Amino acid sequence: MRDPSAFLRKHGLPITAQRLAVLRAVSAHPHSTADALAEAVRAEIGSISRQAVYNALGTLVEKGLLRRIQPAGSPALYEDRVGDNHHHLICRTCGKTVDVACAVGDRPCLKAADNAGFKIDEAEVIYWGTCPECLPLAPARSEEQSPLKISESDKPTQNPSI
Amino acid sequence: MRDPSAFLRKHGLPITAQRLAVLRAVSAHPHSTADALAEAVRAEIGSISRQAVYNALGTLVEKGLLRRIQPAGSPALYEDRVGDNHHHLICRTCGKTVDVACAVGDRPCLKAADNAGFKIDEAEVIYWGTCPECLPLAPARSEEQSPLKISESDKPTQNPSI
DNA sequence: ATCAAAATATTGACAGAGTCTAAAAAAATA
DNA sequence: TATTTTTTTAGACTCTGTCAATATTTTGAT
């Protein structure tokens, strides 16, 4: 997004310092939590209320400027890459999240085998696994761990993006 | 699962009334929250603590007898259909959740276009849309609403399964 | 049947993430 | 610049889920 101000204006949204700063923070730190983004914004413009961050993220997601992903066991993450139907690959150990192109092509994921009468508008795909850095640390894995729940002791680098 | 007791024994788990009741509750009300399951169990055996429900669900998921799904914006849901790699279709309006067979086949979802060096162990797919009952209520939809977050006013049938 | 050891259930406090509300402040509009 | 609309702030609150200590139940062997 080249001109965030123009975009906000186009949608009839008042342009505020908070919204612009949140937008820049997401762009600079994709796949970050609301909390991490609030910190990033504070580093840039001094201060912002928690609610203002949630407000900004909420309306920007609603208007389609941002995308919210909510992995199991993790707070919501935000990114500014929208409209290309890409998916995500998340490390169960450190939480690192990377984008992956849709495996099936452009937007075919929207077709379920049987839609049960639903009108489907989104296919959300999350690949769970272990990232290259964490592979040597935890080669074996039992049936399931609570994903993204890192005990304070064995976390290598939480929120590596920010 | 025909004989839950045998299964528990096989895994070295003590057989408790709570675990068996939770198991039956999930079987009777698939795609329910921990809270709803607690209610169902209470209706059957009188009482159970919240923690016991979480404990039972946790260990049963861990042992592979149950599956936990955690849709964005919703508390975790549980089901007893495991091991067949099916996916889910969720109504944004009323939260109704139905099973759908994997569109691509047996377990090919495990292949991402580019695995970025990750060792992928699960592909989680959720189709978001509007169910037949809710379609007439909300024909138009803006870019995104907070999924599964139903304002008290316009919810048709929350937790229809229980 | 009974008893000791191990595991689970209960209870109540606690934590993280997010929402709600009313009042204050800032943008937009005229 | 005055007015109206919208956003921001601050703080209380809710909802899911977890932690920890104690009481209870299962187990397995007598």
Please give the full DSSP string across B19-74, using - where no structure is assigned. Answer: HHHHHHHHHHS-SEEHHHHHHHHHHHHS---HHHHHHHHHHHHHTTSSEEE--TTS
Any idea which fold A4-69 has? Arc Repressor Mutant, subunit A (1.10.10)
How much of chain B, in percent, has pLDDT values that exceed 90?
58
Say if CB B19 and CB B60 are below 8 A apart.
Answer: yes
pLDDT beyond 50 at B155: no
Tokens of B45: 């055996």
pLDDT at A138: 55
B110 contact residues in A (CB cutoff 8 A): 127
The chain-wide mean pLDDT, for chain B, equals 81
Task: Calculate the angstrom distance between C1' of C15 and CA of A149.
Answer: 13
Q: Which nt is closest to the CA of B53, judged by C1'?
A: C9
How much of chain B, in percent, has pLDDT values that exceed 70?
76
Same fold? A4-69, A84-152: no
Residues 6 or more apart whose CB falls under 8 angstroms from that of B77 comprise: B31, B32, B33, B68, B69, B70, B71, B97
Please tell me the distance from the alpha carbon of residue A125 to that of residue A109, in angstroms, as a whole number: 9
- Check residues B128 and B84 and name the one with the higher pLDDT: B128
The single residue listed with the structure tokens 């008290």 is B152
- Average pLDDT for residues B112-127, to the nearest whole number? 85
- Protein footprint on strand C: which nucleotides are under 7 Å from a CB? 7-12, 16-21, 26-29
pLDDT at A38: 97
pLDDT at B153: 33
B128 contact residues in A (CB cutoff 8 A): 120-124
Residue type, A1: M
Minimal Cα–Cα distance from B49 to chain A, Å?
Answer: 21
Give residue B114's pLDDT band: very low, low, confident or very high (50, 70, 90): confident
Q: What ranges do the domains of chain B cover? A: 4-69, 84-151
pLDDT tens string, chain A, 162 residues long: the values are 568 899 999 999 999 999 999 999 999 999 999 999 999 999 999 999 999 999 999 999 999 999 999 999 899 999 999 988 788 999 988 889 999 887 555 444 566 667 889 998 888 889 889 999 888 765 544 433 333 333 333 333 333 333
pLDDT at A69: 94
pLDDT at B109: 56
Burial string for A74-109 (b: 16+ CB within 10 Å, else e) reads bebbbbbeeeebebbbbbbbbbbbbebebbbeeeeb
Q: What is the pLDDT of residues B27-60, one digit of tens each?
A: 999 999 999 999 999 999 999 999 999 999 999 9
Tokens of B63: 């042992």
Task: Choose the weakest-confidence range: A64-68, B18-22, B154-158.
Answer: B154-158
What is the CATH code for A84-152? 3.30.1490
pLDDT at B136: 78
Give residue B143's pLDDT band: very low, low, confident or very high (50, 70, 90): very low
Task: Calculate the angstrom distance between C1' of D5 and CA of A34.
Answer: 27
- Average pLDDT for residues B103-111, to the nearest whole number? 54
A-B CB pairs within 8 A amount to 148
Please tell me the distance from the alpha carbon of residue B94 to that of residue B124, in angstroms, as a whole number: 21
pLDDT at A141: 42
B106 contact residues in A (CB cutoff 8 A): none
CATH: 3.30.1490.190, 2.30.40.10, 3.30.70.2740, 3.40.50.300. Which one for B84-151?
3.30.1490.190
pLDDT at A3: 82
pLDDT at B108: 44
Give residue B83's pLDDT band: very low, low, confident or very high (50, 70, 90): confident
A33 touches strand C (CB under 7 A): yes
